[in-house]
């Protein structure tokens, strides 16, 4: 919400403040400060739309405000893993700019993470359909058709699910999103490379199982990616490091696809790595950052765990096949 000081600023001063805010964006390259800049922009534009403006100016400021709500919510989801805050801002973006599908796209994947049971898939289906009807770019269509297909499958609508997956495949003319589509077409009982524990009827409680696996990881039996209530933690040989969603998503890919992934395949098959202008070339930087985090937290060269294989121009990234791994998702 605008501050009391903003309310007392004249329209001319507010517009000058907006100009200075835009110049900060052009000068600032460090994405870690991006959220602060976006939040400042939200405050400025919330104040601007309260002023007496011409229709074109009001429309322009509302459009900017909607894009800022969208970016702030998306980043809260992807970078900070603050799902509730993300949901709030994405809903604001949807209300301010209901004709666009991007906010609904992100709400769909957020609903998949935040909800449980039938509510999870009903919500994911609702927001997915809203995104498709309002329109999103081709890459997002490919992904959201997969999510809608998965939601229909879980709700027992198998024919509708098949149609959704077919729509995704038709749009994916170069088969860039096969791993992403595979993840969503898996059956409920299909074996996964991750350890996703079904404890119904089990004798050990969740805490006992988690402690046992962490102990085994500390003994060096395997690298453990633990997805707990407080977020992701990577364990190995008496060391541990907390990971954000961006790093954890990369690790999940490497755990699941044992033959490795190219830079473009990683780019096309992640949902939680994006920034405002992310390009495939950014994947190299993201992997370098993850390797650095691993070295700092586990005391091992990150390149030993996440390997680069193949000749220049045809390289892939893969998890070291000689080091066992597990993922604990309670």
Task: Verify that 319 and 211 share a domain, yes or no.
Answer: yes
Residue 209 has pLDDT above 90, yes or no: no
Give the pLDDT of residue 3: 46
The reply to whether 197 falls in a domain is no
Q: Which residues 6+ apart lie within 8 Å of 211 measured at CB?
A: none
For 121, phi and psi rounded to 5 degrees?
Answer: -80, -30
Return the higher-pLDDT residue of 37 and 59.
Answer: 37
Give the pLDDT of residue 165: 94
Spatial separation of the C-alpha atoms in residues 262 and 290, rounded to whole Å: 16
Task: Verify that 107 and 94 share a domain, yes or no.
Answer: no
What is the mean predicted confidence (pLDDT) over 168-190? 79
Question: Among 68, 98, 128, which residue terminates a domain?
Answer: 98
Q: Which of 195, 190, 141, 206 lies closest to 169, judged by CA?
A: 141
Of the given ranges (120-129, 142-151, 177-186, 266-275), which has the lowest mean pLDDT? 266-275
pLDDT digits (tens, 9 = 90+) for 237-255: 888 888 887 788 888 888 8
Task: Verify that 68 and 112 share a domain, yes or no.
Answer: no
Please give the DSSP secondary-structure letter assigned to residue 33: G
Give the pLDDT of residue 169: 92
Confidence of residue 198 (pLDDT cuts 50, 70, 90): very low
The reply to whether 290 falls in a domain is yes
| Parent domain of 87 | 1-98
Confidence of residue 7 (pLDDT cuts 50, 70, 90): very low
Task: Verify that 248 and 160 share a domain, yes or no.
Answer: no
Give the pLDDT of residue 1: 44
Give the pLDDT of residue 286: 83
Whether 258 and 318 have beta carbons less than 8 Å apart is answered as yes
Could you give the number of structural domains in the chain?
A: 3
Return the higher-pLDDT residue of 206 and 194.
Answer: 206
The β-bridge relationship of strands 316-319 and 306-309 is antiparallel
The reply to whether 198 falls in a domain is no
- The DSSP bridge partners found for residue 226 are 233, 328
The reply to whether 82 falls in a domain is yes
Give the pLDDT of residue 22: 66
Whether 25 and 67 have beta carbons less than 8 Å apart is answered as no
Q: What percent of the chain has pLDDT over 70?
A: 77
| CATH number of the domain within which 217 lies | 1.10.10.10
Task: Verify that 241 and 316 share a domain, yes or no.
Answer: yes
Give the pLDDT of residue 272: 46
Q: Which of 178, 124, 115, 116 lies closest to 149, judged by CA?
A: 124
Task: Verify that 83 and 112 share a domain, yes or no.
Answer: no
Give the pLDDT of residue 271: 57
| CATH number of the domain within which 123 lies | 1.25.40.10
Buried b (16+ CB within 10 A) or exposed e, 258-279: eebbbbebbbbbbbbbbbeeee
The reply to whether 195 falls in a domain is no
Task: Verify that 134 and 151 share a domain, yes or no.
Answer: yes
Name the one residue in this structure whose structure tokens are 């049971």: 117
- The DSSP bridge partners found for residue 224 are 235, 326
Mean residue pLDDT of the chain comes to 77
Task: Verify that 85 and 110 share a domain, yes or no.
Answer: no
- The DSSP bridge partners found for residue 225 are 234, 327
Classify residue 42 as exposed, middle or buried by CB count within 10 Å of its CB (0-12, 13-18, 19+): buried
Q: What percent of the chain has pLDDT over 90?
A: 17
What is the mean predicted confidence (pLDDT) over 68-81? 63
Task: Verify that 213 and 170 share a domain, yes or no.
Answer: no
Confidence of residue 38 (pLDDT cuts 50, 70, 90): confident
The reply to whether 310 falls in a domain is yes
The reply to whether 140 falls in a domain is yes
Question: Among 140, 155, 189, which residue terminates a domain?
Answer: 189
Whether 267 and 280 have beta carbons less than 8 Å apart is answered as yes
Residue 34 has pLDDT above 60, yes or no: yes
Task: Verify that 183 and 211 share a domain, yes or no.
Answer: no
Tokens of 64: 């900017």
How much of the chain is helix, strand and coil, in % rounded to 5? 60, 10, 30
Residue 173 has pLDDT above 80, yes or no: yes
Whether 187 and 276 have beta carbons less than 8 Å apart is answered as no
Residue 195 has pLDDT above 70, yes or no: no
- The DSSP bridge partners found for residue 227 are 232, 329
Question: Among 72, 98, 124, which residue terminates a domain?
Answer: 98
Confidence of residue 200 (pLDDT cuts 50, 70, 90): very low
pLDDT digits (tens, 9 = 90+) for 264-307: 888 777 654 444 445 666 788 888 888 988 888 888 888 899 99
Give the pLDDT of residue 253: 84
Name the one residue in this structure whose structure tokens are 């939680």: 272
For 267, phi and psi rounded to 5 degrees?
Answer: -60, -45
Task: Verify that 11 and 61 share a domain, yes or no.
Answer: yes
Give the pLDDT of residue 74: 63
Give the pLDDT of residue 132: 94
Give the pLDDT of residue 330: 57
Confidence of residue 180 (pLDDT cuts 50, 70, 90): confident
The reply to whether 182 falls in a domain is yes
Task: Verify that 278 and 221 share a domain, yes or no.
Answer: yes
How far from 311 is each of 21, 22, 257, 261, 262, CA to CA, in Å?
A: 45, 42, 19, 14, 12
What is the mean predicted confidence (pLDDT) over 145-153? 93
Whether 140 and 131 have beta carbons less than 8 Å apart is answered as yes
């Amino acid at each position: 919400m605008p501050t009391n000081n903003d309310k007392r600023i004249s329209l001319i001063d507010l517009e000058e403040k907006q100009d200075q805010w835009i110049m900060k964006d052009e000068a600032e390259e460090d994405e870690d400060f991006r959220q602060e800049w976006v939040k400042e922009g939200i405050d400025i534009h919330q104040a601007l739309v309260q002023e007496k403006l011409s229709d074109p100016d009001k429309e322009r400021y509302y459009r900017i405000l909607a894009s800022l709500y969208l970016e702030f919510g998306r980043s809260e989801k992807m970078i900070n893993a603050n799902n509730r805050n993300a949901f709030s801002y994405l809903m604001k973006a949807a209300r301010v700019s209901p004709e666009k599908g991007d906010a609904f796209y992100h709400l769909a994947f957020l609903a998949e993470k935040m909800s449980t049971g039938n509510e999870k898939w009903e919500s994911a289906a609702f927001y997915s359909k809203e995104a498709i009807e309002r329109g999103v770019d081709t890459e997002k269509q490919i992904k959201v058709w997969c999510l809608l297909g998965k939601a229909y499958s879980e709700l027992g609508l198998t024919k509708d699910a098949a149609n959704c997956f077919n729509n995704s495949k038709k749009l994916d003319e170069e088969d860039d999103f096969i791993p992403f589509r595979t993840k969503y077409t898996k059956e409920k009982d299909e074996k996964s490379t991750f350890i996703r524990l079904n404890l119904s009827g089990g004798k050990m409680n969740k805490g006992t199982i988690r402690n046992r696996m962490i102990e085994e990881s500390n003994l060096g039996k395997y690298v453990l990616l633990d997805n707990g209530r407080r977020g992701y933690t990577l364990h190995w040989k008496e060391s541990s490091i907390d990971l954000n969603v961006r790093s954890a998503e990369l690790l999940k890919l490497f755990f699941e696809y044992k033959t490795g992934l190219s830079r473009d395949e990683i780019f096309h098959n992640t949902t939680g790595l994006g920034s405002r202008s992310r390009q495939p070339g950014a994947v190299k930087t993201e992997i370098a950052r993850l390797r650095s985090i691993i070295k700092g937290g586990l005391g091992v060269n990150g390149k030993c765990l996440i390997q680069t294989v193949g000749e220049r121009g045809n390289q892939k990234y893969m998890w070291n096949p000689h080091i066992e791994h597990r993922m604990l998702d309670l």
